[in-house]
Structure 1
């Protein structure tokens, strides 16, 4: 019995499945959150003339969203779905990084690290004022 190496085709399959299932899972979570939200708040009228902005850091936001989702709050379940949708391509970039490292393709390792740095910087500046 011959032992096969984990190859590029295997990574492409994993990445494809990650993108496919990541989108479906995130949409499902957001859809369920929407149903829960409408069940509890469907008759309310939202005042869109006032913009509500929260000045919190990312750790407070994550904690609040997590606690709200665990309690079954529809709005936070929708937010979890959006976060999962955002994280799907981020995980794709991380998997690509490992793929390039295994292939010893160091040019693409550096390029992928730059992309990851840009993502981290964007998230950091998005939550700080």
Structure 2
């Protein structure tokens, strides 16, 4: 009985730690995204409103965004900020899968994994359309 109580306390402590990690992931993701977006906005203002691309165009591929960011093109830098913002909840889903696994809650591991798969499929479909 005492061993189960010890395991229960250890599990509760680990779950509290995982919840703290999830909270930090969300905080850090939003802060990083905001800083990158602000940097892109500053670059845009320095360039006099020129985003580094012809009017009506912006980078849409990962390679184009990376190349534009390396060249410090404001629109590309802001796209990286948006990507960070989008990836923040996705990372939270990944950590949630781990948390449910540690709780031995297999049903929620499967449900959350399906949510992650749907998110990945939506990224691919959204990119190709």
TM-score class, shorter? 0.7 to 0.9
Structure 1: gaps spanning 5 or more residues: none
Counterpart in 1 of 2:15? 8
Which residue pairs with 2:34 in the alignment?
27
TM-score (norm 2): 0.80
| 1:43 CA drift (Å) | 7.0
CA RMSD of aligned residues (A): 2.6
Match of 2:82 in 1: 82
- List structure 1 runs of 4+ shifted beyond 3 angstroms: 51-54
In structure 2, list runs of 5 or more residues that go unmatched: 1-9
* CA positional deviation for 1:41: 3.4
TM-score by length of 1: 0.80
How many residue pairs get aligned? The number is 118
| Greater RCO structure (CA 8 Å; 6+ sep) | 1
Bigger radius of gyration, 1 or 2?
2
